[in-house]
Every structure is written in C-alpha cells, then in structure tokens.
Amino acid sequence: MATVASEQDVPASGEQAKRIARRSRFMRVLLGVTALVHIPVALGVGELAVRLGWPRLTGVIWAAAGVALFATRVRATPDRRSGSALRAAIDVPFFIHWCAAVWALVPSVIGTLVAPVVSLIRGTPFALPTGVYMWSYLSGLAVCGYGILVRRRLYRVVEREVAIPGLDARLVGMRIAHLSDLHIGGLTPRSWGLAWSRAANERDPDLAVVTGDLVTSGTEFHEDVADVIGELRAKMGVVVSLGNHDYFGDGEALTSTLRTRGVSVLRNEGRVLEWQGARLWVAAIDDTWTRRDDVPMAMRDRPDGATTILLAHDPGTFNAASDAGAELVLSGHTHGGQIAMPFVQRAVSLAMFTYPYRLGLYRRARSVLYVHPGLGTTGPPLRLGVAPEVTILVLKRGEN
C-alpha cells in the first residue's frame, strides 16, 4: 500500500527571480566564452580560406556568424515540437562547430605561446604558428562530429552487481532496470527512448526505475516521454522520480501524464512493495534545484525492517539519504560528466569540478549509491568517453 506525503509549496516568486538572474549571468558568461573560442576559429578558417583561394576575411565572417548563432540558439527554450526537424538541421551542425571551437582553444593557446620561443631559438621574426589554428579546428570538427553524430547514439546495456550489507536473503538476485536523464526532446527523439526501454525489457527486470530529467524542457514532449516510460515492463512495476529539467516546464502536468499510463511518480513519498516475501520501501525525493526535495518526508512512513531503495535525481543528496537509513540510492544528473577521459571516466571528466559523486558505485557507512551515466544529453548534444547506458543492477549481499 502506498503512503502519499503532501507536496511542498512551489518556490516563491523571489526565488524564481533569483534563478532567472543567475541564468542571465550564466548566459552572459557563456557568450563571452563563445566569443573567446572563436578567435582561433577565425584564424584557422582564415588560413584554410587563403589556401583555397578565398579572402582571409572569410575566417572573420565565419567566426562572427558562429557567435551570433550561439546567441540565438541559447534562447531557443522551451523545447518545442514545431520546427524540431529544422532545429535539428541547424543545431546539430552548429553544436559540432561550437564544440570544435572549444576543442581548438587549448592547442591554439599553446601554439601561440610556444611560437615566440621557437622564433627566438631560430633567430627568425615572430609569426603566428601557421597551421596550428586550422588543424586544431579541423580535428575538433572530426572528434566532435563523432561525439554528436555517432557516440551519443551508441548506448550499451550493462549488468552490475550491487553488494548491500545485511541484505535480506530473499532479495538476493533481484534485478532493477535503471534508466536516467532521458532528455527526450527535439534532439533526443522518442524512437531512441523506445529502444532504451525495449532493451531494458529484454533483460526481464523485477523492478524498473527512471531517475529524472525525463524531458529537456517545456511541455510539448510529455506524451513522447510517457510513451517511452510506458513501454517499460517489470514484475514489480515502474517507479519514477523527477529531475530539474522536468521543472523547466510544468512538472505537475508531466506527473499527471505519466500517472495516466500507470507509472508510479513518487515525490517525497514511498510505497511498500513485496518481493518473494521480503518487504521493500521504494521511495523518491523531488527536485533539489527548485528546493522541493525532502528526504525525511520520503522516509517517514517506512516500515520497520523494510529494505529501502531511494530514487534521488541529484546524487548530492546521498549523505542525507545515508543518514536517513537508505540502503540503496539511485541517482543520475551528472551524465558522468558527459565528456570524460576514456578508461578513467570516473576520475577525469567535466563532472569532477562540481560533483563528489559523479559516476558508478559509492559507499557511505552501510549505504550504497549508484550514479547513472545517463542516456540523453544536456547542453551540447555531445558524448565523449562516457557511453549512454541502460543499467541492470543485480542485488547481492555483502561488501562492494
């Protein structure tokens, strides 16, 4: 029987104004960074243009167009269905270009700093490093083109054992299909999501969970994500928690749409499920970014002796969940950095600068956290070094 907790109030308008102001500052910083990374692009395209017999001014025009297009694209929210094919035709090439510009910055700066030293050693007049800007940008187009056009489409299905201290023997071998960060929208279509759900179903899970960021923004893809999650099949049902992107639109409407498909959307609440005679408290907290999360409320009605599986989109809540006695916490949010160093993704990624818990399994006291690498993307639709993943967690007893 499910126990439903009352929902928290929507954040005050003053808090909303602060978030809007923070977003505005962030966008201004991004625009400044974009302008900076287009300086090597202007030089590189200029070099290429001269070699092809075009005026060097081509590089300046190309870079200026890139900055101007960025300014228009970052304001293209919320995500809308109308014109999505046209946006994809524009946005995908643009993001390949933008990511290539960022890629080119480091080698371009290094080349520029080294050039005077080389000129001094050779005794020649200083000149900008010919070819460095052009080849840095071209190599970026190749790598980022792969990350956007190929890598983010190639998901994998992985089974991982999760050892939980003192786990009820009747729960050993239980299989949980874990999906997260679908970001269904104009750049991540419904067809991809349906493939992920069907891949999870093929592994015959006992429970299926989705830990937030179901859509990118807005409300126009709610039915699509409901189709995706409604496709999931598991013996004990499907349980969902919401993430911050789900409130970049109307979280209430999304919740209602999912519930009409028979999906359990839990928001600071839990319910008792039984598996082979053992009791489980499956609970979820609401979004942390809009301050709707409440771990104590989600754990409040947990029956004595029930093993707890807590869904929390943001892994930053793990310490609080552990203190509250949750044995297994399932999260997402970080995308494993989305861009990481191959083979050492957990240690070296973009997430290393902001999240202590960013990818894979972690332990604190007698609690275990699994941070999912996500399936969709946010920001630039780019993945490098971190594969999208449908995860099957298999419970066992003992230490990880």
Reference 307, options 285, 286, 277, 264; nearest CA is: 277
**Looking at the domain 156-397, which fold is it?**
Purple Acid Phosphatase; chain A, domain 2 (3.60.21)
Q: Are 240 and 264 in contact (CB under 8 A)?
A: yes
Global pTM value: 0.90
Average pLDDT rounded to a whole number, residues 36-43: 94
Regarding predicted confidence, which is higher, 296 or 130? 296
Report the alpha-carbon distance of residue 355 to residue 336 in Å, rounded: 10
| Mean pLDDT, the chain, integer | 91
Which of 54-58, 111-115, 297-301 is the least confident region?
A: 54-58
pLDDT digits (tens, 9 = 90+) for 186-238: 899 999 999 999 999 999 999 999 999 999 999 999 999 999 999 999 999 99
Tokens of 397: 């007893």
Confidence band for 360, pLDDT divided at 50, 70 and 90? very high
User: Domain boundaries in the chain?
Assistant: 14-149, 156-397
Tokens of 185: 């929208």
199: helix, coil or strand?
helix
324: helix, coil or strand?
coil
Report the alpha-carbon distance of residue 200 to residue 214 in Å, rounded: 16
Q: What are phi and psi of 36, to 5 degrees?
A: -65, -50
pLDDT for residue 15 = 61
